[in-house]
């Protein structure tokens, strides 16, 4: 099925793929294209490259598509049984590995690795085996296989055993935990994760900080990196696409609607996130409230535009977090709002055109995650901003490594400091804001998705 790119055939493996299917009431299947850096990076290789993307069926629609043999050229979806996938994805990947790498546990009570965890771990291993077997089955002699993320940490090691001829890489889109946090995992799990990844020829990370943390874990817990190379590829924003897309008619319409919601002559503090536990939306709202307390002169003159799009709603802790964002936004609005001014404009329905509209309008972008692999929003806003935008940026976001110099940097746990930073950003003189925004955009676009992908492929096949 797969053909070649340059000398080597290319295969990509990730949990979420570039397409998904929705079962309609009339029994037909509707195709939806996925988004994100990886998708655009891979599409940029071009249709002739014929890379094969192996991904998991995530929904009933996806499983039905596999059953009916419906599919896109260049994509192979694996119909892992729903219960196995749920244990691997929700149980291990999102509730354990994501928590460890983002340091999210409230440790007096969690994690507690009990018998339910071990069932989930066995299913995580089964799910990784399904990927390794499918890749072994599809790959031509000497092919390059690029495995993505914490869902598939065991794949490189398993695939290496099945197909020693392949060039294998693994890329982490998340941070990597410091060794003292990583060793919270049961010893066997920590060892299997590291050994699985070290089955790759090459491991990629978004920043040097995450690469160093991984290396430290290997030094301490796995006797070093062995023959595996570690590299850093900082995924950048796709300037051409963003600038073109953000000038389309639907974005202009959303801008008009947003302007009406915000009100005449007001400044805007914009944030756009998937509502992940690491994004720190609640402390962002607390900081905004603090700003209104510390600087009453901003009341009626500023609006916090917060887009918090649902994510991983199968997990109760995500649903609770989403509800807390909504509750706090309502509380601020009822405490400070006036008949003509809504202090927080919160939207929770994903709308890419509206996100771009908010990027264009933003006076200040607030990106304050407690920990983040990169954070592409921090890179996208300055690229499309109409008049220049001040960036309040967490020092714990991967993007800090490239953008920190031109941003107003905050400790994401420090609400008072974040409020101070918001004030500083709002009062930044327009020429300085425009100047900094230009420098942010230049740094943000240093390695656009297609080049990001190609740089990994080149390094792997060199």
Peptide bond into 111 cis (omega under 30): yes
- For residue 97, how many C-alpha atoms fall within 13 Å in the half-sphere facing its CB? 27
CB of 171 to ligand F6P, least distance (A): 9
CB of 346 to ligand F6P, least distance (A): 20
Number of residues interacting with ligand F6P: please give it, by CB under 6 A.
7
Q: CA dist 363 to 90, 247, 446, Å?
A: 37, 18, 23
- Nearest to ligand F6P of 89, 117 (CB atom): 89
CB of 305 to ligand F6P, least distance (A): 21
Residue nearest to ligand F6P (CB): 173
Does residue 16 bind ligand F6P (CB under 6 A)? yes
- Nearest to ligand F6P of 9, 172 (CB atom): 172
- Nearest to ligand F6P of 90, 333 (CB atom): 90
* Helix residue ranges per DSSP H, 147-296: 155-162, 179-182, 187-197, 208-221, 239-245, 249-262, 281-294
Does residue 322 bind ligand F6P (CB under 6 A)? no
- Nearest to ligand F6P of 173, 233 (CB atom): 173
Does residue 183 bind ligand F6P (CB under 6 A)? no
CB of 27 to ligand F6P, least distance (A): 27
CB of 396 to ligand F6P, least distance (A): 14
End-to-end CA distance of the chain: 24
CB of 210 to ligand F6P, least distance (A): 11
CB of 421 to ligand F6P, least distance (A): 23
Q: CA dist 201 to 24, 227, 231, Å?
A: 43, 7, 11
Site for ligand F6P in 163-182 (CB under 6 A): 173-174
Q: Closest Cα to residue 296, out of 336, 342, 346? A: 336
- Nearest to ligand F6P of 437, 456 (CB atom): 456
Q: Closest Cα to residue 368, out of 322, 408, 405? A: 408
- Nearest to ligand F6P of 205, 298 (CB atom): 205
Site for ligand F6P in 32-91 (CB under 6 A): none
Q: Find residue 303's DSSP bridge partners.
A: 268
Residues in the chain: 462
CB of 234 to ligand F6P, least distance (A): 14
Consecutive H or E run containing 56 = strand 52-56
- Nearest to ligand F6P of 16, 295 (CB atom): 16
What residues contact residue 112 under an 8 Å CB cut-off, 6+ apart? none
Residues 121, 189 contacting (CB under 8 angstroms): yes
- Nearest to ligand F6P of 59, 311 (CB atom): 311
CB of 456 to ligand F6P, least distance (A): 15
Site for ligand F6P in 192-251 (CB under 6 A): none
Q: Closest Cα to residue 269, out of 343, 327, 196? A: 343
Does residue 149 bind ligand F6P (CB under 6 A)? yes
- Nearest to ligand F6P of 379, 433 (CB atom): 379
* Structure-block tokens of residue 118: 């071990």
User: Which of 167, 283, 312, 420 touches ligand F6P by CB under 6 A?
Assistant: 312
CB of 311 to ligand F6P, least distance (A): 6
CB of 236 to ligand F6P, least distance (A): 15
| 50 vs 53: CA distance, rounded Å | 9
Does residue 396 bind ligand F6P (CB under 6 A)? no
Give CA torsion, residues 263, 266, 269, 274, to 10 deg: 10
Phi and psi angles of residue 352, each rounded to the nearest 5 degrees, phi first: -65, -40
Phi-psi domain of 69 (left: phi exceeds 0; alpha: psi -120 through 50; beta: other): left
| 405 vs 435: CA distance, rounded Å | 13
Place of tokens 């001014």: 341
Q: Which residue ranges make up the site for ligand F6P (CB under 6 A)? A: 15-16, 149, 173-174, 311-312
């Amino acid at each position: 099925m797969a053909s070649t790119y340059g000398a080597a055939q290319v295969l990509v493996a990730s949990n979420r793929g570039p397409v998904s299917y929705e079962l309609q009431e009339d029994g037909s299947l509707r195709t939806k294209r996925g988004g994100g850096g990886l998708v655009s990076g891979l599409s940029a290789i071009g249709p002739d490259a014929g890379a094969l993307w192996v991904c998991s069926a995530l929904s009933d629609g996806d499983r039905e598509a596999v059953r009916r043999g419906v599919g896109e050229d260049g994509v192979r979806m694996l119909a892992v049984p729903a219960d196995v996938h749920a244990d691997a994805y929700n149980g291990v990947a999102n509730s354990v590995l994501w928590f460890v790498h983002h340091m999210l546990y409230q440790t007096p009570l969690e994690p507690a690795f009990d018998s339910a965890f071990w069932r989930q771990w066995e299913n995580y291993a089964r799910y990784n085996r399904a990927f390794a077997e499918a890749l072994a089955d599809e790959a031509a002699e000497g092919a390059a296989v690029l495995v993505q993320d914490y869902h598939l940490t065991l794949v490189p090691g398993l695939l290496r055993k099945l197909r020693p001829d392949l060039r294998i890489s693994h890329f982490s889109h998340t941070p990597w935990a410091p060794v003292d946090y990583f060793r919270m995992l049961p010893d066997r799990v920590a060892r299997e994760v590291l050994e699985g990844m070290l089955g790759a020829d090459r491991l990629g990370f978004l920043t040097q900080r995450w690469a160093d943390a991984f290396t430290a874990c290997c030094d301490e817990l796995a006797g070093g990196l062995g023959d595996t190379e570690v590299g850093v590829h900082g995924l950048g924003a796709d300037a051409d696409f963003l600038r073109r897309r953000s000038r389309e008619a639907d974005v202009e319409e959303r801008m008009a609607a947003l302007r009406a919601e915000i009100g005449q002559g007001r400044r805007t503090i914009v944030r756009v996130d998937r509502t992940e536990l690491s994004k720190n939306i609640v402390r962002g709202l607390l900081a905004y409230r603090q700003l209104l307390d510390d600087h009453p002169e901003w009341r009626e003159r500023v609006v916090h535009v917060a887009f918090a799009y649902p994510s991983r709603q199968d997990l109760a802790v995500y649903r609770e977090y989403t509800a807390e964002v909504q509750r706090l936004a309502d509380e601020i609005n009822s405490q400070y709002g006036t008949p003509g001014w809504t202090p927080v404009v919160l939207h929770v329905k994903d709308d890419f055109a509206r996100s771009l509209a908010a990027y264009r309008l933003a006076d200040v972008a607030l990106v304050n995650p407690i920990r983040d692999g990169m954070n592409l929003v921090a890179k996208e806003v300055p690229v499309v901003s109409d008049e220049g935008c001040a960036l309040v940026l967490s020092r714990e976001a991967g993007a800090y490594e490239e953008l920190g110099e031109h941003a107003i940097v905050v400790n994401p746990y420090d609400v008072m400091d974040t409020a101070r930073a918001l004030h500083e950003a709002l009062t930044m003189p327009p020429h300085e804001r425009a100047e900094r925004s230009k420098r942010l955009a230049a740094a943000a676009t240093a390695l656009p998705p297609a080049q990001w992908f190609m740089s990994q492929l080149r390094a792997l096949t060199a």
